[in-house]
Amino acid sequence: MSGQTTNEQEFARARGAMPGGVNSPVRAFGSVQETPRFFVSASGPYVTDVEGREYVDLVGSWGPAILGHAHPAVVKAVQDAAAHGLGFGASTPGETELAELIAARVRRPNAIAGPVERVRLVSTGTEATMTAIRLARGATGRDLIVKFAGHYHGHSDGLLAEAGSGVATLAMPGSAGVPAPIAAQTLVIAYNDLDAVREVFAARGGDIAAIIVEAAPANMGIVPPSRGFNAAIADIAHAHGALLILDEVLTGFRVGPAGWYGIDPVPFRPDLITFGKVVGGGLPLAALGGPAALMELLAPLGPVYQAGTLSGNPLAVAAGRATLDHLDDAAYARIDAAAATIADAAASALSEAGVTHVVQRSGSLFSIQFAATPPVDYDTVKAQEAFRYPPFFRSMLQQGVSLPPSVFEAWFVSASHDDDAVARILEALPAAARAAAEASPG
Ligand code: PLP
């Protein structure tokens, strides 16, 4: 493969075939002013581009590759499943097993039961949150949704207002094409601000179906919830007859065996939880779960419709099951240790270069923010010196480390990031930090 084409050539050709040359906006590398790399293979912590260049990867397919790329057990599970048929459009035993696995894992340490009694498998995180919202509306008979600025819940119409991730990267307030009456059903408030939550419920409480929240936000960079925040918003929602939708599409099964729900220092009760990324092991699969009484309002038992040609696809189910099976305590310990080493080294390199920064962490998830004090919400995130990230990113890339191409994204460490891979990242950090130091706003 090496030497056949260049990334430049691939990008030029792709732009003639797909809008912006990509199938998801952040992949265009626009905000880091760099040519996107076109990858041809990946293994463990490494990805290889069309030019034959290998990078240590900290994108991890945006989360799913938690065991490392092409983990042999996951690949084998998918191959075995494929040999039995790519999909039936009918039920399979594997779907039940994955649903049971999800329900069994999502519980607080020592709890007899968790908040997930029934699971619906879908294909993307966007579908999971969209369905959770429809279900909340169907259950409460109310229309309004409360979301937090800077939180990303996928690209369904009602959830794009002041969203994080690519919407933040592209500095878009929302999206064209969302009808105003639909946008008006979403009330956007500041994160980590309980007064804002109380105020919105005082004003509109009787009309609010649900609050949707990233369990530990990671789409405006990492912004941890203040202690007890999730518990407090659960209480406020419940006091007004509204539901709490905990979006664990990114954090679920990543920050621990039961996601953020399992490690939040203050226990709380979400009504619906959405999962994605890790739960599909790299293939298109996501899920939502909750108590039977709520979940059984979904068709065919209840009046809330949801369906999918590829829902519960056997290859995706096999990848998800194999991934969860291999995510044991040892795997989480490796991820935690590698993440801590990389985060500490990034902080040291930036300090050494005299760059004002904080490294924000939520469990093993972390990101750099170029600010003097830890950002707590979208406004403080946006106030950072974001112009320092593109040169930092480009320096890392030139040195063979693939970071997320946006300051608003988390760095994804996998269980395959061994000492060699971590050492390569650590070696690259000082020069990248110096590049960040030399950056200017213009
Ligand atoms: N929710 C969260 C917290 C996410 O991070 C994402 C994707 O990044 C989504 C929902 C949407 O998931 P998908 O991209 O699979 O539609």
Task: Tell me the pLDDT tens digit for each residue of 196-205.
Answer: 999 999 999 9
Question: Which residue has a Cα nearest atom 10 of ligand 1?
Answer: 153
Quick check: 85 pLDDT over 70? yes
Same domain, 152 and 189: yes
Do the domain assignments include residue 105? Answer: yes
Q: How does the average pLDDT of the chain come out, rounded?
A: 96
What pLDDT shows up at residue 191? 98
193: burial class by Cβ within 10 Å (0-12, 13-18, 19+)? middle
Counting ligand 1 atoms within 8 A of each CB, the residue from 22, 59, 124, 126 with the most, and so the one to mutate, is 126
Residue partners of 18: CB distance under 8 A and separation at least 6: none
Q: Which atom of ligand 1 is nearest to the CA of 276?
A: 15
Q: Which residues contact 394 (CB under 8 A, 6 or more apart)?
A: 32, 33, 34, 435
CATH number reported for the structural domain that contains residue 369 in this entry? 3.90.1150.10
Q: Is residue 49 part of a domain?
A: no
Q: Residue with structure tokens 């905000």?
A: 31
Q: Answer yes or no: is 98 within a domain.
A: yes
Q: 104-129, pLDDT tens digit by residue?
A: 999 998 898 999 999 999 999 999 99
- Residue pair 279/327 in contact (Cβ under 8 Å)? The answer is no
Is pLDDT at 168 greater than 90 in this prediction? no
162 and 223 housed in the same domain: yes
**What are the residue numbers of the active site?**
152, 247, 277
* Residue 125 alpha carbon to ligand 1 centre in Å: 5
**CA of 122 relative to ligand 1 center, distance in Å:** 13
Q: Are residues 165 and 294 in the same domain?
A: yes
Predicted ipTM?
0.99
How would you classify the pairing of strands 39-43 and 46-49?
Answer: antiparallel
Q: How many angstroms separate the CA atoms of 71 and 89, rounded?
A: 27
Residues 248 and 389 reside in one and the same domain: no
- What does the pLDDT read at residue 161? 81
- Tens of pLDDT, residue by residue over 296-339, are 999 999 999 999 999 999 999 999 999 999 999 999 999 999 99
Last residue of a domain, one of 309, 326, 343: 326
Residue 184 inside a domain? The answer is: yes
**One domain for residues 263 and 319:** yes
Instruction: Report if residue 144 sits inside a domain.
Output: yes
- Distance between CA 136 and CA 134 in Å, rounded? 5
In this structure, the answer to whether residues 366 and 318 fall within a common structural domain is: no
Q: Are residues 281 and 220 located together in one domain of the fold?
A: yes
Question: Which atom of ligand 1 lies nearest, measured to the CA of 247?
Answer: 3
Domain check: are 345 and 285 in the same one? no
Mean of pLDDT values over 75-79 = 98
What pLDDT, on a 0 to 100 scale, did the predictor assign at position 4? Answer: 87
**Could you give the percent of the chain with pLDDT greater than 90?**
93
Residue 172 has a pLDDT of 66
Mean local confidence (pLDDT), 170-190: 86
Q: Identify the pLDDT of residue 165.
A: 75
pLDDT at 162: 82
pLDDT on residue 290: 98
Q: In sequence order, what are the residues at sequence separation of 6 or more whose Cβ sits closer than 8 angstroms to the Cβ of residue 381?
A: 150, 168, 220, 221, 223, 369, 375, 408
Q: Do residue 203 and residue 285 come from a single domain?
A: yes
Does an H or E element contain 103, and which?
helix 93-105
Instruction: For residue 11, tell me if it sits in a domain.
Output: no
| DSSP class of 298 | B
The per-residue pLDDT for 166 is 72
Here the CATH number for the domain that contains residue 133 is 3.40.640.10
Give 245-282 pLDDT, tens digit per residue.
Answer: 999 999 999 999 999 999 999 999 999 999 999 999 99
Position 207 in a domain: yes
pLDDT tens sequence across 22-73: 999 999 999 999 999 999 999 999 999 999 999 999 999 999 999 999 999 9
- 3 state DSSP class of 229: helix
Specify burial of residue 365 (Cβ count, 10 A radius: 0-12, 13-18, 19+). Answer: buried
The verdict on 144 and 195 lying in the same domain is: yes
Q: Which two tokens stand for residue 405?
A: 């191409």
Rounded Cα gap, residues 291 and 26, in angstroms: 35
Write down which residue in 295, 326, 357 finishes a domain.
326
Average pLDDT over residues 368-394: 97
| Domain enclosing residue 341, as ranges | 329-403
Report the pLDDT value the prediction gives residue 100, as an integer from 0 to 100: 98
Residues 176 and 240 in one domain: yes
Q: What is the pLDDT of residue 110?
A: 87
Residues touching ligand 1 (Cβ under 6 Å) are 62, 124-126, 129, 152-154, 165, 214, 219, 247, 249-250, 276, 286
Q: What is the pLDDT of residues 224-247, one digit of tens each?
A: 999 999 999 999 999 999 999 999
Q: Which of 147, 157, 273, 277 to mutate to test the pocket of ligand 1 (most atoms within 8 A of CB)?
A: 277
| 3-state class (DSSP) for residue 247 | strand
> Do 309 and 359 sit in the same domain of this protein?
no
Q: Is the peptide bond before 300 cis (omega within 30 degrees of 0)?
A: yes
What distance in angstroms lies between residue 427's CA and the mean position of ligand 1's atoms? Answer: 31
Any domain includes 427: no
Query: In the chain, how many domains are there?
Result: 2
